[in-house]
Amino acid sequence: MIYLASQSPRRRQLLEQLGVGYELLLPGDDEDAEGMEAVLPGEAPLAYVKRVTHLKLQAALKRRKARGLKAAPVLCSDTTVALGRQILGKPADAKDATRMLSALSGQTHRVLTAVSLGTDKKQVQIVSISKVRFANMTPAQIKAYVASGEPMGKAGAYAVQGRAAAFIEHISGSYSGIMGLPVFETAQLLREFAYKF
C-alpha cells in the first residue's frame, strides 16, 4: 500500500491500472497547496516541475506524520506544459484557457511530469518528458472546447484523454505521462520500494 497525495482522478485510475493499492493523503484546509505551484522568476520548466513535486512530497510526508498514519511510501506528481521555456499551468479562467490553446494551436509543445516517491528515509524522483503536436485550431473550435469546461484545472488547458484528442496530431513519449502519471516510470520507482510488477 502507498499513499497518493493527489486529487487527480486520472492519477488514481493509472495507479489502479498498475494494480497498486493506495490511500489518498490530501492536503488539509490549513495547507497552501496551490501556493507551492507558483513559478519562480526565470524558472525553466524542468526545474519547476522537479521542485514542485519535491515540495509536494515533503508536505505530504509531514502531513502523514502529523495525522499519525502508519508508515508507507508517499507518491506525488506534478505535470506542466511547456511551449519553449514558457510554462503553461492551469488556466485562471476561460480567457486564460483561450490564450493558452491559441498559443498551442499548430505547435509542438512538451509535457513534463515529475513523480516523487518516498518515505522519511528514502526519496526518489523521475521525470517523463513527452512531445505533443496540436493541429491548427480555429477560434470557433477553441471557443467550443473552452465552453465544454474541460480545460479548467488542467495544465496547458487541455486533457489528452478528453475532447482535446480531436486536435492532437502527434504524440512522442508517454501517453500516461501526458495524462498526469507516467505508468512505466512510476513502476520503476515502485520497484525501488520492493513492489513487484
**Residues with catalytic annotation?**
78
Which amino acid is located at 88 in the chain? L
List, in order, residues 6 or more apart from 31 with CB less than 8 Å away.
59, 63
HSE toward the beta carbon, residue 118, CA cutoff 13 A: 21
Interior angle at CA 135, CA 134 and CA 136, nearest 5: 115
Residue 87, Cβ neighbours under 10 Å: how many? 18
Cβ-count burial 174-192 (b if 16+ within 10 Å, e if not): bebbbbbbbbebbeebbee
* Cα–Cα nearest to 130, from 56, 164, 55, 180: 180
Q: How many CB atoms lie within 10 A of CB 95?
A: 9
H or E segment at 110?
A: strand 108-118
CB atoms inside a 10 Å sphere around CB 81: 24
Q: Which helix (H) or strand (E) holds 74?
A: strand 74-83
